[in-house]
Amino acid sequence: MIVRLSFPTLMRRALPCALVLAAACARQTPVVLAPLPDRPWTVLPGDEVRVRVYREADLSGQYVVTGRGDVFIPGLGRIVAAGMTADSLSAYITSGYSKRIIDAIVDVGIVRSLPVLGQVSSPGVYQAEPTMSVQQIVAKAGGVRGSTLRLPMYLLQKGRDGARYSLAADLRLDRVALDEGDAIVVVNPSAMERMAPWITTFNQFATTLSIVLSILLLSKK
């Protein structure tokens, strides 16, 4: 036997279902991760600038960026380094030595103490460089703990407001907007957390549907 339902009856039956689905999604949806800011790593006070000038041992060393944002480099004097990217600082120092030393071969690096927390074997603070990937700095902390059960999720946690941003394992740190107090956090998310973007989309759809159905029901009265 085929039962034909009128449109108003169908709407009355569909509306509660849509509302239940929307409520269920709202309860289960975790905090949605924001997109990663498109800003590279820049030098901060407390960073160390590592300089190696081949055949010039007295010009090689590792120098701390002061609280004022400058750093003293032998042979070049004080440089305002804070705010510069790793590439721009490297180019500046290399250019300075090239004007003083014939055929100068210069290697410049930046070292920063970066906390690595969460599902890693040895949470702690580790020396990070811009050329390293997210996975490489995590490896310094002993690698992911319990990664055989689920694929890990790598996050940048901002020290300023606790906001979290999803990171690709092979992303170089010089493409990450690292600020003072930030940390790399590794989590082993549940299936529900991995489905968060799809659940959020469905939640929005269900909410919109419930509003449309409510309007339709009111118009039929």
What pLDDT band is residue 156 in, cutting at 50, 70 and 90? very high
* Buried residues in 44-61 as b, exposed as e (16+ CB within 10 A): beebbbebebeebeebee
* Residue 63 burial (10 A CB sphere; 0-12, 13-18, 19+): middle
Share of the chain above pLDDT 90, in %: 47
Give the start-to-end residue ranges of the domains of the chain: 48-193
- Residue 14 scores a pLDDT above 50: no
- Residue 166 scores a pLDDT above 50: yes
Q: Tokens 């599902």 identify what position?
A: 119
What pLDDT band is residue 11 in, cutting at 50, 70 and 90? very low
What's the fold here for domain 48-193? wza like fold (3.30.1950)
* pLDDT 10s digits, 63-82: 999 999 999 999 999 999 99
Tokens of 49: 């600038």
How many CB atoms are closer than 10 A to CB 106?
20
Query: What's the whole-number mean pLDDT along residues 124-137?
Result: 95
